[in-house]
Structure 1
Amino acid sequence: MNGRSAMRLARLQETLARGGTIHLSEAARLCGVSEMTIRRDVAASDGAMVFLGGRLVMADNPQYAPVYSVDEQKDSHFQAKHRLCEQAAGFIEEGDTLFIDCGTTLLPLIGLLSGRKQLTVVTYALNVANAVSTLPDVRLVLLGGVYYPASQSFGSDDMNHSIRRLGINRAFFSAAGVHEQKGVSCFHFHEVAPKQAAIACAAQRLLVADESKIGVIRPAYFARLDDFDVVITDGDMAPSPESGGPRIVAA
């Protein structure tokens, strides 16, 4: 990105920082360039701004975030999620206590627990809990609170304390956005506390994300990429540096 492009992006971000949106044509007039140039600038940027219906918005503005629904997402990237969970299952050992995040990405992992002995699953997601409840040899710890139907999950003020009191061997996380510079994010702010609590106390942290999540920013930030020990993905992510970044496992 050249200096003029960076200056245009900075001007647009300054305008958007006051709130609201900018139509593409308005952004072009503001910067004195064509609409195509604005599109190229945004496409080459760090993902802080996105187009929504022909208007430019800040990617982390929750007012303009797309609506998330578990029911709508359950069939999205179905085969990819199975491949990712097959890789994830390879990290599980007998006797583990597992934290399994909400959403649909990790649901195939539940079926792969069948036949394993002395496992405990900790979750705040009703859909995950329902799946685990069909496995007779797996102990379930369901964290409760206020129920949020869109994500089929619970939230409460003391959930992070409950998680921190548990001994978690491996924590498996899903995300709606995974960005190398802007970190890992989700749609719903009530998910941030349990995710961060599990990151803080788990012996091993594994992020599972299909290619549709890579390079995306969602409203609720919850972690840096280097907060995870392993990232399991079929997306285009550079191998981890030797300086301590997560191990990237391709699926």
Structure 2
Amino acid sequence: MRKTAGAEARAVRLAKMQELVEAGGPLPIKQAAQRLDVTEMTIRRDLSSADSPLSALGGYVLATTLPGAERYSLDEASDQHAANKRLACERAAQWVQPHDSLFIDCGTTMVHFAEALPPDMPLSVVCYSTNIAAVLSRRPNTQLMLMGGLYHPSSATFFSDEGLQYLDKLGVNKAFISAGGLDVARGASCSNFHEVPVKQAAIRSASESFLIVDESKLGTLRPAFFSPLQAFARIVVGGAPAAAVRKQFKELPVEFARGD
């Protein structure tokens, strides 16, 4: 059956939005409406269709499915490369000073970072994941601020436009960010598109940003790009990657934390 004119127009709009999301990550619905010269209600109707490859979440257009991409699961990631994650986090924790105001990103790596912070050090910390908050809530001298919103079980995180506005108003002097992949040319990326605006807001508001990963992330690309590597004051990598891999990152402020 031939598509109606309305269905054809919707398919064109969805294809264009998919191109924009794949190129730049989560797309504000308002911006999508402006780019396509339609109303925001039209965009939301397009996204709600059964065959849409995209979805609306927190005022953004996001990819619903990522063919060929690995699905990130917090439970699956928790035991992978744990020793190297711990090494990287112990090194990065040395950059924290008493009375710092921190943003701590989500993911299994950052649990090790929260645990590596000196237990009695007075700090203010904003985060958006339950596993990080669970660690920080046990610290007697830490003022904890948890961003709210829609809960995402796969990464134990919350996301909302209000949460982003809250982070922008707070401001932090140091942001500690995790990533699922680091590529010299393509930058830092992760598996979940809803995390991108949060990471970018934290980097934008912080005086200094630090990236913490284990060696398995080097040379890896994930679906959701969030930052060029030059945005980070320091990058700490847990483990001892091959010399050829280290050479790729020699022009960047990268430190390797090894157990020997």
Structure-2 residue corresponding to 1:249: 255
1:151 aligned to 2:155?
yes
- Aligned match of 2:165: 161
Q: In 2, Cα distance between the equivalents of 1:194 and 1:237?
A: 29
Give 2:182's aligned residue: 178
CA contact (8 A) 2:120 2:140 kept: no
1:195 to 181, 190, 199: 199
Q: How far apart are the structure 2 equivalents of 1:208 and 1:92?
A: 14
Which residue of 229, 232, 236 maps to 1:228? 232
Q: Does the aligned pair in 2 maintain the 1:129–1:140 contact within 8 Å? A: yes
Measured in 2, the distance between the counterparts of 1:107 and 1:200 equals 23
Distance 1:158 1:214 in 2: 33
Secondary structure (helix, strand or coil) at the match of 1:237 reads: helix
Q: Which amino acid is the alignment partner of residue 156 of structure 1?
A: S
Deviation at 1:240, TM superposition (A): 4.7
User: C-alpha distance in 1, partners of 2:66/2:161?
Assistant: 21
Cα deviations by residue, 1:128-178 (Å, 9 ceiling, x for unpaired): 011111112111100010000000001112322211111311111111111
Instruction: Say which SS state the counterpart of residue 62 (structure 1) adopts.
Output: coil
Partner residue of 2:84 out of 44, 63, 80:
80
1:130 aligns with 2:139: no
Counterpart Cα distance in 1 of 2:123 and 2:230: 27
Write 1 or 2 for the structure with the bigger share of helix. Answer: 2
Q: Runs in 1 of length 4+ with deviation above 3 angstroms?
A: 234-241
2:47 alignment partner in structure 1: none
Could you say which residue in structure 2 is the equivalent of 1:106? 110
Structure 2 residue identity aligned to 1:126: T
2:246 alignment partner in structure 1: 237
Q: Percent identity?
A: 39
Distance in 2 (alpha carbons) for counterparts of 1:146 and 1:195: 16
In structure 1, the residue matched to 2:35 is none
Residues 178, 213 of structure 2: 8 Å contact kept: yes
Partners of 1:159 and 1:193 within 8 A in 2: no
The answer for unaligned runs of 5 or more in structure 1 is: 1-16, 18-60
What CA distance in whole angstroms lies between the structure 1 residues aligned with 2:161 and 2:110?
A: 24
Q: Answer yes or no: is the 8 Å Cα contact 1:99–1:123 preserved in 2.
A: yes
Q: Quick one: which amino acid aligns to residue 161 of structure 1?
A: Q
Q: Which residue of 2 aligns with 1:93?
A: 97
Partner Cα separation in structure 2 for residue 195 and residue 216 of structure 1: 18
**1:179/1:216 contact within 8 Å kept:** yes
Report what 1:142 is aligned to.
146
Paired with 1:136 and 1:62, the residues of 2 have a C-alpha distance of: 42
Kept in 1, the 8 Å contact 2:133–2:144? The answer is yes
Structure 1 SS opposite 2:95: coil
- Contact 2:73–2:155 (CA<8 Å) still a contact in 1? yes
Separation in structure 1 between the aligned mates of residue 230 and residue 236 of structure 2, nearest angstrom: 13
**3-state SS in 2 of match to 1:63:** coil
TM-score using structure 2 length: 0.69
User: What is the alpha-carbon distance in structure 2 between the residues aligned to residue 217 and residue 116 of structure 1?
Assistant: 37
